[in-house]
Amino acid sequence: MPKINTQELVCIVCPVGCKLTIEKAGDEYIVKGNICERGVDYAVEELTHPTRMLTSTVKLCALHHVRLPVHSSAPIPKDLIFKAMKVINSCTVKAPVTTGQALIKNILDTGVDICSSRTIE
């Protein structure tokens, strides 16, 4: 009989915040406490391949601003967040920039870009 591990998580996909209980029996995950199927997807992904959206700021060369808010174009693996922050912190951007402009392309070979969250003339 396969060993059963149990973990608890709060689903952060929507504001309801269902308390999830996840049992792992062999290769199978059994999720309980979810109101909808998105909770199952969230729980399995969080346990097998956790990712996060990244928001930060970069140094900016512009007349009236010294920092530019940035965000990742998609979630990146949680275990790469610290390395990604090192890359972002070493970056300096020159104005003008536009909202959504990719400033660091394919960060750490993730296929995700770091993009400007503001337009600065």
Contact residues toward ligand SF4 (CB under 6 A) are 11, 13-14, 16-18, 34-36, 38-39
- Tokens 């990146």 sit on residue: 76
In sequence order, the β-bridge partners of residue 56 are 70
Angle 40-46-48 from CA coordinates, rounded to 5°: 100
Taking the least distance from each CB to ligand SF4, the nearer of 34 and 72 is 34
Taking the least distance from each CB to ligand SF4, the nearer of 9 and 102 is 9
Note whether 15 and 34 are within 8 A (CB).
no
Residue 49 C-beta: closest distance to ligand SF4, Å = 18
Taking the least distance from each CB to ligand SF4, the nearer of 16 and 61 is 16
Residue 38 C-beta: closest distance to ligand SF4, Å = 4
Note whether 112 and 74 are within 8 A (CB).
yes
